[in-house]
Amino acid sequence: MPSDFYPMTPDDIAQRFPSVRAPLGAYTNQDRVVDFSANISATQWPDADLDVARQFFKAGLINLYDKIEVIEEGIHEVNKKKYIFFEFESYVKGSKREPGSEDPILKYTYIQYLVQTKRTLVFTFSCPKDQKDDWQRTARLMMKSVKVR
């Protein structure tokens, strides 16, 4: 975790995670535009078929955005555990009906899933697309150093 990241405030969490399930941990940088979070997915898998799970999670990601450009995806091992991961750029159209929301939202995201018995842990790093070059290496290093007991 970069040293200048700090825990999100309850207001930050409510804005970024509009769900009844709060993240296990959520951090942001000083500018509050680069985020890292850990969460438990509501999706449980009865077996360890990671390829089927990968396809399911990819379909879910594609449905979240108006456009997605995958940089890399797959299954990799981190600290002796297998993670499904997706690294991508996303595009969400702006809304002409909502003042202040006219511009599209462009983001860089690295997300990985640890599918375990009775739970799936989700780790997400995101930043504005125009800051991708500044943060991509850090995101990859963070995700490849995740430790789960």
Would you list the DSSP string of 86-136? Answer: EEEEEEE---TTSTT--S-EEEEEEEEEEEEBTEEEEEEEEEEGGGHHHHH
pLDDT in tens, 108-132: 999 999 998 888 999 999 999 999 9
Q: Are 123 and 37 in contact (CB under 8 A)?
A: yes
* CATH 3.40.1000.10 assigned to 35-143: yes
Q: What is the pLDDT of residue 101?
A: 67
Ordered by start, the domain boundaries in the chain are: 35-143
Inter-CA distances, 25 with 36, 104, 136, Å? 8, 27, 21
At 100 the pLDDT is 65
* Positions in the chain short of pLDDT 50: none
pTM: predicted TM-score of the whole model, two decimal places: 0.91
pLDDT of residue 44: 76
